Structure formats: structure tokens, C-alpha cells
Amino acid sequence: MLELKSCCVLSVLHSVPVKRMLLLLIWMMMVSFQTGSSEDLMKPLKDELMALEGDTVTLSCKYSGSVRYLFWYQQKSSSSPQFIISDILEETEKFSVKHDKQKQEFHLNISTAAVTDSAVYYCAVQPTVTGNNKTLSLHFDPSPRAGVGNLFGRGSQKRHIFLNVIL
């Protein structure tokens, strides 16, 4: 049985003046897989990350139990999860992984972070993501009048943010 565990947030900002900044959120969901009487648990190492557009970003999960292979999936808005990389495949120009078996940690490196990387990211212990997925997505107004400072309570302009929860 697959079920989602916890998540963390990655925010990537455009490296332009504050009034033109946009916010990118990447939700990383952890997937656990139960076999017999032992349970392999996965959890993020950090709950929230922030980076500028163009940075290299690392999403990390820690697992317990014995696993043979680990996988990363990416789920963009209104689509199903897509496999992007595992610890047994070659890295790509965009994605690479590091599997620290001694610490039981699995890291996904995203090079040159961009707004188009906005997605739900799954760290999984088997090559399938199915089951009752719970997704939280953030939609934002990318117009120049909406500065990131307003999102954090600074400034006088209003920022429109809509949250969708899909159960």
C-alpha cells in the first residue's frame, strides 16, 4: 500500500528587482511502501527551502528500513506523476541524485532552478506512485504589481494566492 507522508516546500525567486519577483513552490511528497511486518518510512530533511532562479537546489529525504532502490517522480499541475530519475540510472542535465546508504538519505539535485520546475516531487521506494494522492498547489498572480514582499506581509499592495487541495 502506498501512502503519502510529509512534505516540504521549495521557493525559487526570479533574480530580478523585488517588484518583478515571482514565487515558485515545489512540494515534495514522501511515499512510503509497506511490506509484511516492516515499514519503510520516508521523510524530508527540511520542511521548507528557498532559492533564487538559476540556483542548484537539493531536495532530500531520509528513509528507514531496507530498500533496494529509490526513485524520484515529478507531478506537474493537472497531470500524473512522471518518473524523473533513480539511484540506478544516469543523471540528466537537469536532475542528478546522491544516495547515502550509510545515513539512509536520498538527495535530488535540480540544476538551474526555474519556474517551470514547479511541481509535486515524490521520493519513493518502488518504481510506481499510485494510491490516494493528496496534492496542495499554489497559484499566484505573476503581474508586476504583485511583489514577493507583499506575500510575506510587507508593502501595501494586495497579493492574490489561491490554494487547491485535491484529496
113: nearest Cα among 37, 45, 50: 50
**Which residue has cell 516546500?**
9
Burial of 141 (0-12, 13-18, 19+ CB in 10 A): middle
| Neighbouring C-alpha atoms within 13 Å toward the C-beta of 100 | 9
Residue 50: which CATH number?
Answer: 2.60.40.10
The whole-number pLDDT of residue 154 equals 42
pLDDT tens-place string over residues 77-86: 888 888 899 9
Q: How far apart are CA 22 and CA 115, in angstroms?
A: 8
The predicted model scores a pTM of 0.59
pLDDT at 116 over 90: no
| pLDDT (tens digit per residue) in 5-48 | 434 445 555 554 433 333 344 444 444 433 333 455 778 777 66
Q: Which residue has the higher pLDDT, 74 or 140?
A: 74
Q: Which three cell numbers stand for residue 80?
A: 500524473
CB 22 within 8 A of CB 159: no
The pLDDT of residue 5 is: 40
Number of domains in the chain: 1
Chain centroid to CA 28: 3
Give the domain range for residue 12: 2-166
